[in-house]
Chain A
Amino acid sequence: MKYAPELYAEAFTRALNESAAHVSRDALVARLLAVIEKNGDNARKGKILNAVRRAFIKKRGGREISIETARDQHIDLGRYFKKEDEIETRVNPDLIAGLRITVDGERELDTSLHRKLSRMFQ
């Protein structure tokens, strides 16, 4: 039986809440990995752990922010985000110039030159 990564994440966070008193966090993580293996979902382990990470960020009231820049440079955008947010930055040369910010993988602000050029030649 295959379960969606979101279901694993939901079940794990609930288990963590409900059994925090008598089971350690590390033991629960080990049990999650064992369940994933038992269900034959090892190939999707990455996706499941990502979903768990997302669930944690959501639980603490934060957002998953991805900032892509065309070149490796330091841009301080901290003041635009909350301290609960998890910010990940990476270099994406495909953007040519500018940056792209994605929030929770569902909303994005694209100010890259790549977008401008593709819009211009649409």
Chain B
Amino acid sequence: MNYDIIEKLKKEIEGFKDDPRFEEVGSVVEAGDGIAKISGLRKALSQELLLIETHVGEVSAVAFNLEENFIGTVILGDASAVRVGDRVKRSGRVLSIRIGNEVIGRVVSPLGAPLDAKGVLFERIDRAEEYMLERKAPSVVERESVKTPLHTGVKSIDAMIPIGRGQRELIIGDRQTGKTAIAIDTILNQKQEKGKERPICIYVAIGQKDSKIAKIVKVFEEAGALEHTVVVSASASSSASLQYLAPYAGCAIGEYFMDQGRDALVIYDDLSKHADAYRELSLLLRRPPGREAYPGDIFYLHSRLLERAAKLNRENGGGSLTALPIIETKLGDVAAYIPTNVISITDGQIYLESSLFYQGIRPAINVGLSVSRVGSSAQTKAMKKVAGRLRLELAQFRELQAFVQFASDLDEATKKRIDRGALLTEILKQRDREPIFFEQAVVVLYSALNGYIDDIPLEKAKRFEAHLVDYLEKRYRAEILDEIQKTGDLSEHVEARLKEVIGEAKGIFS
């Protein structure tokens, strides 16, 4: 055994060829707070990976600022090891991450290192591909319009704010309003997606607590969703540089699958913390601060990231990358700098409101302020047919609800509208981590919107919903639910049968 190792080593040493030649070199002149100023290396490129030779080994850094006499770099490794005077060399590479199918089901750092103690990522390194973290978004000719739905399993979203594969839909709201919960539900729901190819999900945690990330990974594991999910983690304890790189790494992973003609979904949780990390780096690099001390290119930071979400045309493989960025607002202020930037970049937003959350309306989606600009063309016919009136009914309900606070007498029609609105609000409530099949959502919304359950007391509405779904699953899965799921439509025949079945279910409901 020892002999084999020695022989192997001997051959390696004998066969080692070294060709020393003049190389560019620089030296660290200033270091601190994860930033290093380097003199020399005049030919270094922007975003190039530089290698700092420290007393504990090589530490990598990225060239951020190319100034007349210095290069401002962001240290990616152990910043405490970098000292003034350390030699720096160019790597000739820009930042990239190794990606392959083995990355699915793993928790990785933004630089592609495994963080889940499940061993090495790639058994054979040649099976992995290098993907640049910063990459140009697909051009107009490579894209096609969004037309395939991406079901979230959340009734109110799938019905009123539909998301298509390749879309960028912002989830925005104050802290503790259920933003991450929607993202998690969307990932969980992809497991139960039938008929279409299941998207690979990438959850990018930026500046989150380690405990929260561990909890989310556990949820994925327990629900079996980790089989189609990759978690990119740059927790609150990570350096600002890693938090800054995390969404780009997540996006690169998504692009890998998109380039293979597959569908991918990437969730950036959240871009407010990403903007903060970038602000920190920019200020340390002494870039001029602008509004709210963010640097001047803060818009470009997010636009170049989100522009990489796309639905590719058939000639380019037909893959897609859907992006669900999350933004945390302060006291519901959607007009702040970062929220308005990201709202203008994305194709719509799901706005979550604290007041709705505390009223018990969960998910706390403000239907009036939420919108999907391209998703309706990706919505299935069945859902479109059923939920077409839902937004209007809820809007009328909200208006009337405000009005009846002052009115004592109500006519029958108004009372009916208010009752229907209250019933719809109740039906749209949904618990966390319980995404439902889209065909189930179709039948539930059909029964509520067409007045078939108007006579059910409000407090029993949720129970009846569960009863109806259970009844259909057990007795009419093939005849009704599978039919809706396969065709994506609610045919006249199925609709007629559904009416009868709702009557049957009501008959035996107590």
Contacts and interface: CB of A to CB of B under 8 A. Distances in A.
Given A105-B25, A105-B27, A110 B20 contact: yes
B26 A6 contact: no
**Which of B12, B13, B29, B39: most chain A CB closer than 10 A?**
B39
Nearest to A51: B69
Contact of B22 (A109, A115, A119, A120): A109
A60 interface: no
B81 to A, nearest CB: 15
B297 interface: no
B40 interface: yes
Interface residues of B, number: 19
Contacts of A109: 20-23
A106 interface: yes
B42 A120 contact: no
Given A4-B69, A6-B69, A106 B25 contact: yes
Interface string A99-122: 000110111111100011001100
B30 to A, nearest CB: 10
Contact of A110 (B16, B23, B41): B23
B24 interface: yes
A107 B25 contact: yes
Given A4-B69, A6-B69, A106 B41 contact: yes
B372 to A, nearest CB: 50
B18 interface: yes
Given A4-B69, A115-B20, A108 B13 contact: no
A116 B20 CA distance: 9
SS class, residues of chain A in contact with chain B: mixed
B24 A107 contact: yes
Given A4-B69, A6-B69, A120-B12, A105 B39 contact: yes
B24 A106 contact: yes
Contact of B16 (A4, A106, A120): A120
Contacts, number: 40
B18 A108 contact: no
Contacts of B23: 107-110
Contact of A108 (B12, B22, B42, B69): B22
B25 A119 contact: no
A88 to B, nearest CB: 15
Contact of B18 (A102, A103, A106, A119): A119
Interface in A69-122: 102-103, 105-111, 115-116, 119-120
Nearest to A108: B25
Contacts of B12: 120
A4 B67 CA distance: 12
Contacts of A116: 16, 18
A111 B21 CA distance: 8
A16 to B, nearest CB: 21
Contacts of A106: 24-26, 40-42
B18 A107 contact: no
A107 B22 contact: yes
Nearest to B18: A116
Interface string B28-60: 010000000001111000000000000000000
A36 B87 CA distance: 28
Nearest to A120: B16
Contacts of B39: 105
Interface string A11-30: 00000000000000000000
A4 B24 CA distance: 22
B157 to A, nearest CB: 49
A47 B40 CA distance: 15
Interface of A: 4, 6, 47, 102-103, 105-111, 115-116, 119-120
Interface of B: 12-13, 16, 18, 20-27, 29, 39-42, 69, 87
28 contacts: A4-B69, A6-B69, A47-B29, A102-B25, A105-B25, A105-B26, A105-B27, A105-B39, A105-B40, A106-B24, A106-B40, A106-B42, A107-B23, A107-B24, A107-B25, A108-B22, A108-B87, A109-B21, A109-B23, A110-B23, A111-B20, A115-B18, A116-B16, A119-B16, A119-B18, A120-B12, A120-B13, A120-B16
Given A108-B22, A109-B20, 17 more contacts: A102-B25, A105-B25, A106-B24, A106-B25, A106-B40, A106-B42, A107-B23, A107-B24, A108-B23, A108-B25, A108-B87, A109-B21, A109-B23, A110-B23, A111-B20, A115-B18, A116-B16
